[in-house]
């Protein structure tokens, strides 16, 4: 009888754990840079070696029957975690704990909001859209469907090896389902570490450029970076631009077309114009900073019209966003 009693106790405890969510889901792990809130458990998890994240930077609004967020897209190593917070904890307490930790780590706050007035009454629909859905998780379909006391924090840590972005959305689940999360606070933590897509695609020297141009007539470069929807060249692009300058200085007879490419996100006309402006920015940078003759360079843009991979995945889109050098 004693053994049976112990067995029943264990079974009851296991059942309670399963129902209340007091155990991290299999295959999940906390992000190494950011500690979890004390005694919280992971109920949703997803990881991509190279993914895309839209960081909310403004109040949610309704536009053409769709919820819209003013956002900034970033790409890199993406970790997404949904935590179930211990009972009787408020969204304010969870929010302040994370905010303090991020501040101590040197993060800069890009945007923060609290409640419907600041975040927008439809904010939860945008933050929990199908595009942001978690994999390898329990049934989370009703999480954030009726939130209260919602709070958001978006922060950035600037690093030489690549910036880190954090999006934290905290809300109380006022739905009765799922039962294990009813009247409990949940926190969606998304961490994106910007990194080059593939080092082999970025670290191309002048000699490699010369060989590829002479054999194939062109070469695709992935080490020239721009902010989303902007034409200003980021400082981390300098190593590749240095090599382009070396290439041109080593062969005074070489003239190039600088051609900008985008993925298919957004309108065609917009992408055509953006890719052209970015190509011309590269030309202007080479002329201004390396004293390359403007007669040897011409900038053009073809937008998404010459893809080298599918635009159905973040990885494919990253391959399509490139600058090509084409021999005249």
What would the pLDDT profile of 303-316 be if each residue is shown by its tens digit?
Answer: 999 999 898 877 78
pLDDT exceeds cutoff 70 at 46: yes
Whole-number Å distance between alpha carbons of 39 and 88: 12
Token pair recorded at residue 66:
């769709």
Q: In which band, very low, low, confident or very high, does the pLDDT at 7 lie, cut at 50, 70 and 90?
A: very low
Mean pLDDT of the chain: 84
Percentage of residues of the chain with pLDDT beyond 90:
52
pLDDT of res. 130: 61
Whole-number Å distance between alpha carbons of 166 and 152: 10
Mean pLDDT for 189-217 is: 80
Mean pLDDT for 169-192 is: 86
pLDDT of res. 135: 66
**What Å distances lie between residue 227 and 74, 75, 141, 157, CA to CA?**
9, 11, 33, 16
Domain 199-327 fold: 60s Ribosomal Protein L30; Chain: A; (3.30.1330)
Instruction: Return the ∠ at Cα 39 (arms to 37 and 44), rounded to 5°.
Output: 75
**Higher-confidence residue: 224 or 139?**
224
pLDDT of res. 1: 40
Whole-number Å distance between alpha carbons of 15 and 291: 72
pLDDT exceeds cutoff 50 at 19: no
Question: What's the whole-model pTM score?
Answer: 0.60
* DSSP reduced 3-state for 282: helix
What would the pLDDT profile of 80-116 be if each residue is shown by its tens digit?
Answer: 999 999 998 999 999 999 999 999 999 999 999 999 8
Q: Where are the domains of the chain?
A: 22-193, 199-327
pLDDT exceeds cutoff 60 at 14: no
pLDDT of res. 4: 40
Q: In which band, very low, low, confident or very high, does the pLDDT at 66 lie, cut at 50, 70 and 90?
A: low
pLDDT exceeds cutoff 60 at 226: yes
pLDDT exceeds cutoff 50 at 200: no
Phi-psi region of 266 (alpha: psi -120 to 50; beta: other; left: phi over 0): left
For residues 175 and 142, the answer to whether their CB atoms sit within 8 Å is yes
pLDDT of res. 241: 95
pLDDT of res. 228: 73
């Amino acid at each position: 009888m004693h053994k049976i009693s112990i067995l029943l106790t264990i079974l009851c405890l296991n059942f309670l754990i399963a129902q209340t969510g007091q155990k991290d889901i299999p295959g999940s792990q906390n992000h190494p840079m950011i500690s979890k809130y004390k005694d919280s458990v992971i109920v949703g998890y997803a990881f991509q070696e190279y993914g895309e994240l839209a960081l909310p930077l403004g109040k949610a609004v309704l536009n053409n029957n769709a919820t819209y967020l003013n956002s900034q897209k970033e790409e890199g190593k993406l970790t997404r975690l949904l935590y179930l917070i211990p009972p009787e904890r408020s969204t304010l307490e969870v929010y302040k704990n994370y905010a303090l930790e991020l501040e101590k780590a040197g993060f800069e706050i890009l945007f923060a909001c609290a409640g419907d007035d600041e975040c927008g009454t439809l904010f939860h629909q945008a933050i929990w859209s199908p595009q942001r859905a978690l994999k390898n998780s329990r049934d989370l379909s009703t999480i954030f469907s009726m939130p209260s006391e919602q709070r958001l924090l978006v922060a950035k840590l600037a690093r030489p090896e690549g910036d880190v972005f954090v999006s934290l959305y905290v809300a109380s689940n006022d739905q009765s389902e799922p039962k294990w999360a009813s009247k409990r606070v949940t926190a969606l933590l998304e961490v994106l570490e910007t990194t080059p897509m593939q080092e082999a695609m970025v670290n191309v020297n002048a000699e490699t450029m010369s060989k590829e141009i002479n054999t194939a007539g062109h070469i695709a470069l992935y080490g020239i970076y721009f902010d989303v929807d902007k034409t200003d060249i980021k400082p981390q692009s300098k190593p590749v631009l240095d090599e382009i300058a070396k290439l041109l200085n080593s062969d005074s007879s070489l003239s190039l077309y600088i051609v900008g490419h985008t993925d298919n996100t957004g309108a065609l006309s917009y992408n055509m114009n953006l890719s052209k402006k970015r190509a011309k920015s590269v030309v202007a940078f080479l002329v201004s900073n390396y004293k390359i003759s403007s007669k040897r360079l011409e900038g053009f843009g073809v937008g998404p019209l010459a893809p080298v991979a599918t635009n159905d995945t973040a990885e494919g889109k990253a391959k399509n966003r490139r600058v090509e050098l084409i021999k005249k």
